[in-house]
Amino acid sequence: MGRGKPLQDDAARDRIRGAGLRCTPARVAVLHHLETAAGPLTHAEVSDSLHHLGFDRATIYRNLTELTEAGLASRVELGDHVWRFEAKRAGGGHKGDDHPHFVCTTCGEVSCLEDVQVAITPRAAAGKGAKRARGRIGSVTEVLLKGRCEQCD
């Protein structure tokens, strides 16, 4: 994905300690898994991937929640009422935590768009519609793009 060198388990450990949490094997595995993923993952996806390490779904869920509360991960909801979790990027120069997501409507793959910026710009012509739309937006917390991914297009 060209996002720089892959993070090692050690980096995950440092960040967990830095957030004041204990480094349990499950917590390190969950954070490391999120950090190496190409996009946000559901609880079920993380559970499936880490099942072979002997962690049950409840343990994975508890750790996802704890990492989120500690600020090491964030939760996103992409319109299908399923929470997905992703690691917050460590000190990435740009606004790494505030990126749009792209969902493929054919295969369901979710990816992070960390190198693009989406701006909402009101149209210059102030028709009735534009006025109303502008008044309705308080603050945008999530930008979601839908379409077909390269594989499906």
Positions in the binding site for Zn ion (CB under 5 A): 86, 104, 106-107, 109, 112, 149, 152
Q: Smaller CB distance to Zn ion: residue 106 or 117?
A: 106
Q: Smaller CB distance to Zn ion: residue 23 or 96?
A: 96
Q: Smaller CB distance to Zn ion: residue 64 or 112?
A: 112
Q: Least separation, in Å, of the C-beta of 115 and Zn ion?
A: 12
Q: Least separation, in Å, of the C-beta of 151 and Zn ion?
A: 5
Interatomic CA distance for residues 82 and 78, integer angstroms: 7
Interatomic CA distance for residues 109 and 78, integer angstroms: 12
CA distances from 51 to 34, 74, 85, 89 (A): 15, 22, 17, 25
Interatomic CA distance for residues 90 and 86, integer angstroms: 12
